[in-house]
């Protein structure tokens, strides 16, 4: 089990980043959340199998079709046992 906090910078708001991220996370069986932050970035927490978490991290480096990802920060956290994925 792995849990990470991801912060994605670039043109990531207004391009369906959160909705696309949530769809992929749910399909991968991950728990956690995704939200826009006031600084124009997107933050997400992914919790689940290490392989599924890595797949979502890799996707965040590209994002949906109209996004432009400039930077992705990833920090590991202790898993807390979340069971669903939410858009905040």
Copy the structure tokens of residue 60.
């965040």
Active site residue 26: no
Catalytic residue among 18, 24, 61, 86, which? 18
Catalytic residue among 2, 11, 36, 86, which? 36
Active site residue 24: no
d(CA 22, CA 70): 20
Which candidate, 30, 27, 38, places its Cα nearest to that of 4? 30
User: Taking the CB of residue 43, how many other CB atoms lie within 10 A of it?
Assistant: 17
State the DSSP H helix or E strand holding residue 21, giving kind and residue range, or none if neither: helix 17-27
Active site residues: 18, 36
């Amino acid at each position: 089990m792995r849990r990470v906090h991801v912060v994605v910078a670039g043109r990531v708001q207004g391009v369906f980043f959160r909705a696309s991220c949530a769809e992929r996370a749910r399909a991968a069986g991950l728990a956690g959340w995704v939200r826009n932050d006031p600084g124009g970035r997107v933050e997400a927490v992914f919790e689940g199998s290490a392989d599924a978490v890595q797949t979502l991290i890799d996707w965040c480096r590209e994002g949906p079709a109209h996004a432009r990802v400039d930077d992705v920060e990833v920090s590991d956290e202790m898993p807390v046992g979340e069971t669903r994925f939410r858009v905040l």
